[in-house]
Amino acid sequence: MIGPSTIDAQVHTMRHEAPGVLSIELRAKDGAAELPSFEAGAHLDLHLPNGMVRSYSLINPSNERHRYVIAVQEDRASRGGSRFVHRELRVGTSLPISAPRNNFRLCEDAPANVLVAGGIGVTPMLAMLRRLASLGRPVDFFYAARSRRDAAFTGEIEALAGETVRLHWHYDDEAGAPPPLHQWLGGRPTDTHFYACGPAPMLAAFEEACEALGYADVHVERFAAPRPVDAPTECKGAYTVKLRRSKRSIEVAAGQSILDALLDAGMSVDHSCREGVCGACETRVLEGQVEHHDGILSKAEQAAGKSMMICVSRCRHGPLVLDL
């Protein structure tokens, strides 16, 4: 998070977990015994030496305070984030990181849980599985990967299997089809909590299946925001955003994000990914309607319009008044 508080960290270990997947253990550079606490589902920001800031899920047990462990998949279409991590980061590299924050919270007292992981989406789900296993909560864990070779952390996942933890595996190359989500999800008690993280098509199918099956407690983590959908809007071109606490009005140019307009106006605003997936810039909306383009807020939260990610979302019907 680009804001007032970061932690000086150092890469302690690095390990290849699967083709193109690298786990990285971070510890406090000053040797501090304890780092800020976190919960399963949390992520942090890496402030990379090339100037980029990228968010990654924490995969280690949430009761560990001496280290943070993340996993990074190298993206062939990377603009420099994952490519830099894989090709330039080394043991001993020092870099600032944010304290963990959590937009994908686990309901620890749910009577039943279903976790669905696809590809590198296994990272937050592994932390959740660890936590539920430690609490003795019933959980069905479904992991879909392109092949056995591409599946990461299988040994650690298998070690968690037990009376309350049931594991299910799907490999596209062996099944010859996408994961059977309706089959996985169907027939569950209505008070079950459902969680998913993975590729966009899988998440869309997951949400559609949960809606068709009538489930209410559905939680999704996206590593990329959905593509914008054209919608009627009064705020075409440039528009004005009013900041109530600052008593300022800021002009937002056509094609400019609210975040960039605020930064250009000299305001200090917490932000990180600039893609609507980390939650650092979430801002309370006091008046107006928002055209949401983030990957964090649920459909219900977007419809309520009480907050927005100012790095990607914009005004739909004004005036737009923010709690800044």
Q: Rounded to an integer, what is the distance from CA 100 to the centroid of its chain? A: 11
Same domain, 207 and 144: yes
CATH number at residue 87: 2.40.30.10
Same domain, 117 and 209: yes
pLDDT tens per residue across span 166-194: 999 999 999 999 999 999 999 999 999 99
* Residue 1 pLDDT: 44
227 located within any domain: no
Report field, pTM of the whole predicted structure over 0.75: yes
232 located within any domain: no
Same domain, 205 and 254: no
67 located within any domain: yes
Same domain, 297 and 255: yes
Structure tokens at 6: 């970061």
Same domain, 87 and 122: no
pLDDT tens per residue across span 75-127: 877 767 899 999 999 999 999 999 999 999 999 999 999 999 999 999 999 99
The total of structural domains in the chain comes to 3
Positive or negative: CA dihedral 77, 80, 81, 87: positive
SS3 label, residue 264: helix
Structure tokens at 279: 């939650």
Provide the β-strand partners of residue 306. none
Same domain, 204 and 298: no
281 located within any domain: yes
Provide the β-strand partners of residue 13. 25
Domain assignment of residue 83, given as a range: 7-97
Place of tokens 């005036």: 319
107 located within any domain: no
Same domain, 159 and 91: no
13 located within any domain: yes
CATH number at residue 252: 3.10.20.30
Which of 102, 69, 68 is closest to 221 using CA atoms? 102
151 located within any domain: yes
Please give the angle made by the CA atoms of 32, 37 and 83, to the nearest 5 degrees: 80
Same domain, 282 and 190: no
* Residue 86 pLDDT: 95
CATH number at residue 172: 3.40.50.80
229 located within any domain: no
Which of 212, 216, 168, 220 is closest to 195 using CA atoms? 220
Same domain, 169 and 87: no
> From CA 69, how far away is CA 60, in angstroms rounded?
6
